[in-house]
Structure 1
């Protein structure tokens, strides 16, 4: 087994032994490097998505507030008139 491992150090190809796959250190480092880069990119995309979702929520709340002001403008005026009448009585 040690001889197979030592021979794999000189050869960058993969080899099979007893139904187990053994890979050389360079290949493992390459895989780990890709995994780390992929995880970093996924984390970055998740953060960007979260920021965009928050911004969209804020835009929606602002638009909804503007909509309510327009829709309820008559009601607000009526409420203000009633409040003035109550204060005057």
Structure 2
């Protein structure tokens, strides 16, 4: 009877150990997925920052072009008035 209990307990231990290994493996896979997603998120954040910087430069260039256009229009009006 005692050896049967030992065998039963050994089988239970093996079953639980196998389940624990499966859970551990699944957990590690999920952690890797999270890590991969964090890396992708960082890459996207970097790309967004790059586009924001480009947009900022474009806005500054546009503002400078508007100022220059206003100056040219002003000079043109002055020339027309002199005629």
TM normalised by structure 1 equals: 0.60
* CA-to-aligned-CA distance 1:22-56 (integer Å, 9 cap, x gap): xx111111101101101110111111111111000
Q: CA deviation at 1:7?
A: 4.7
Aligned to 1:48: 36
**1:5 pairs with 2:19:** no
Structure number, greater radius of gyration: 2
The count of aligned residue pairs is 65
Greater percentage in strand: 1
Higher relative contact order, structure no. (Cα contacts within 8 Å, ≥ 6 residues apart): 1
Q: Give structure 1 regions of 4+ aligned residues with deviation exceeding 6 angstroms.
A: none
Greater percentage in helix: 2
Q: For structure 2, which runs of at least 5 residues remain unmatched after alignment?
A: 68-83
Q: For structure 1, which runs of at least 5 residues remain unmatched after alignment?
A: 13-23, 79-89
The two structures, once aligned, show a CA RMSD in angstroms of 2.3
Aligned to 2:56: 68
TM normalised by structure 2 equals: 0.64
